[in-house]
Copies of this chain bind each other. A is one copy, B any other.
Amino acid sequence: MKHRVVVIGAGFAGLQVVLGLKGAGCAITLIDRRNHHLFQPLLYQVATTLLATSDIAWPIRALMRERKDVTTLLAAVEGIDRAAREVVLRNGERVPYDTLVVATGARHAYFGKDQWEADAPGLKTLEDATTIRRRLLLAFERAELTGDPAERQALLTFAVIGAGPTGVELVGIIAELAHRILPAEFRRIDTRQARILLIEAGPRILPAFSDRLSAYATRALKRRGVEVMTGAPVTECSDSGIVLDGRFIPARTVIWAAGVQASRAHDWLGAEADRAGRVVVTPELTLPGDPAIFVLGDTAHVETGGRAVPGVAPAAKQQGKHAARTIRARLAGKPPPGAFRYRDMGNLATIGRNAAVIEFGRFKMTGWFAWWVWGIAHIYFLIGTRSRLFVALSWLWAFLSRQNSARLITQREAGHR
């Protein structure tokens, strides 16, 4: 009988495991509760009207079309029966495994303030992105409609909490919308009067980057009309605004980009987790005491060289490859590759039209050239010629026409609130 591999989660890590097991002769079951693999690094561009949802998401089973060794199941996992070596699905089906890979990702976290989620949505799924897109666009629409100046200013205040790459990239495009794209389209308001706030509890933005690039990003954002507020922890958050340093700022649109919490895989596994809910794994990326179970990506806490591996796409992919190599070695009776080592591929973030920061060890780059390198790198990382072509064309079109093409308010009729 073939060796049965069950992979839960078709994100960067899970997908890489399946790709790495091509031709290994396993019977693979790939389980996800979504029907698509999502390219999360560009999700902020869906949230900000640059890209369409289908540009950065692919049906998982279409990706596995040629892989007759892979059965894709769209299903929610209820638990893992480690004694019986079975994954239990919500419909009651039990999927037996010889090797299990858990790579179920993370959600945004509110550090104990879960009640903030309704007023400050985060950005992890396509629905999150279309929700944020709707709120952004509705704020301008309602500002055009209201007769009350205070209400108008609150509607035109956009606060992004958290200044990692996602936060920076969000405010960059919001500023472009408010200052360059929308002004010609409104008759009663001047969208250039919008306040766009980037709020960071720590001392500087883009903390994963060097001081120099962080300072460049701050200058570039300010030039684009963004107010950068560092050392400013948010202490309150409601549908009318936020409290910062004891000061209330009326803001109708608040976006959360400040922190993540791993999925509840540690519950399923009955495993030890760190504060962010990530399962603490061995250097081989397996569950302590159960080498048949791998935990990867944002779901796992692993340290290499004394530092925790960051929750970024390249790290998840590398872990997926490593797990696949380990499984193949075991099946072939060869020595497995051993401890996972993270290769830092550097950090990239865009700030706006013709501005980005790239850091790779001592190598640093800013400005328009970094922006083009960022774009080309991301097109390379997309899956398939079609997505590459369509995203490249969308970007080129937006760049030349100064118009974003996916400015749709959907899922709720605007007049109804």
Shortest CB–CB separation between residue A380 and chain B, in angstroms? 19
B36 touches A76 (CB 8 A): no
Contacts A54-B52, A54-B408, A145-B91 hold; do A413 and B62 have CB atoms under 8 A apart?
no
Contacts A62-B185, A93-B147, A405-B54 hold; do A127 and B411 have CB atoms under 8 A apart?
yes
B185 touches A35 (CB 8 A): no
Say yes or no: is A65 at the interface (Cβ < 8 Å to chain B). Answer: yes
Shortest CB–CB separation between residue A158 and chain B, in angstroms? 17
A73 to B188, CA, bound (A): 10
User: Given the complex, which residues of B lie within 8 Å of A403, measured CB to CB?
Assistant: 62, 386
The residue on B at minimum CB distance from A389 is: B393
User: Given the complex, which residues of B lie within 8 Å of A35, measured CB to CB?
Assistant: 137, 141, 407-409, 414
Of the listed residues A64, A70, A74, A393, the one surrounded by the most CB atoms of chain B closer than 10 A to its CB is A74
**Number of A residues, CB within 8 Å of B:** 61
Contacts A187-B71, A408-B53, A408-B57 hold; do A415 and B76 have CB atoms under 8 A apart?
yes
Say yes or no: is A237 at the interface (Cβ < 8 Å to chain B). Answer: no
A185 touches B393 (CB 8 A): no
Question: Which residues A125-173 have CB closer than 8 A to chain B?
Answer: 126-127, 130, 137-138, 141, 144-147
A73 to B70, CA, bound (A): 51
Shortest CB–CB separation between residue A282 and chain B, in angstroms? 30
Say yes or no: is A192 at the interface (Cβ < 8 Å to chain B). Answer: no
A416 touches B36 (CB 8 A): no
B145 touches A74 (CB 8 A): yes
User: Given the complex, which residues of B lie within 8 Å of A70, measured CB to CB?
Assistant: 187
User: Given the complex, which residues of B lie within 8 Å of A415, measured CB to CB?
Assistant: 33, 74-77, 89-90
A70 to B184, CA, bound (A): 12
Say yes or no: is A59 at the interface (Cβ < 8 Å to chain B). Answer: yes
Of the listed residues A126, A144, A415, the one surrounded by the most CB atoms of chain B closer than 10 A to its CB is A415
